[in-house]
Structure 1
Amino acid sequence: MSSCEGSDPFALQVLGDSMAPEFPEGSIVVAEPDGVIESGRYVIAMHNNEYIFRQLVMEGERQLLKPLNEAYPVLEMGPEDSIRAVVVQKANRRDRKRYY
């Protein structure tokens, strides 16, 4: 992602099953760095010095990164973590969907 320019939207391929069934492995997601950050939105975050794709859940001052697959843990964002982009669209072999 380092080659993306500032606020330009970018596409990523989903790896693994942590966001299944909504985002099966191989799906392509489009993310906007300047997207509106709200609880319930799907985000690309920097967590523990790694990029991660999760659903953002805000509980008061806490920001949690929730996988859709319950086999994976919910992670709490720390002060060094940040939201890098908001997912606005998904495309895979079966369907296309927008997220606002």
Structure 2
Amino acid sequence: MEEFKRKPINIPVVSADQQADSAFGACSEAEPFALMVLGDSMEPEFHDREIIVIEPEGLARDGSFVIAFHNEEYTFRQLVKRDAGWALHALNPAYPDHPVADLSCVKGVVILKKKPGRRKSVKYYIDQEKH
């Protein structure tokens, strides 16, 4: 089995009490950044307090997990193509989908998740050979 060659990426640490706009502004627009999942809207795939890494310049497509700016706040959802355009879809059926006209609201694509404190609990959402 061929082993993936992984190169480390630097992920800036920003305190949670900073405003969302300044947290996104702390990184250059091209740098990946990490966020902690809060709540259960993306269960069963993403659980409360898991860490996700976002690629701001990642390619958003149907089925991608994204960070989007919608209704004056940042949200974590799955991007889904619909007949009338796009929707931000919560995996937990207790939460509604939010239709969006285009992809301009997408601020980054999730490239991996990790459970805090577990070294081997990483799941990638991109092809590792391209990174």
Query: Is TM more than 0.5 here?
Result: yes
1:45 is matched with 68
Q: Which has the higher contact order (CA 8 A, sep 6+)?
A: 1
Three-state SS of the structure 1 residue aligned to 2:25 is: coil
Partner of 2:28: 5
Aligned length, in residue pairs: 100
More helix by share: 2
Q: State the identity as a percent.
A: 44
TM-score, with normalisation over the residues of structure 1? 0.91
- Displacement after TM superposition at 1:76 (Å): 0.8
- CA distance in structure 2 between the aligned counterparts of 1:3 and 1:76, rounded to whole angstroms: 29
Q: CA RMSD in A?
A: 1.8
- Consecutive aligned runs of 4 or more in structure 1 exceeding 4 Å deviation: none
Task: Give the TM-score, by structure 2 length.
Answer: 0.71
Structure 1: tracts of 5 or more residues without a match: none
CA distance in 1, matches of 2:54, 2:61: 14
Higher CA-based Rg: 2
Structure 1 residue 21: Cα displacement: 1.3
- Give the strand-richer structure, 1 or 2: 1
Which structure 2 segments of 5+ residues have no match? 1-23, 127-131
Residue of 48, 52, 55 corresponding to 1:29: 52
Shift of 1:78: 4.3
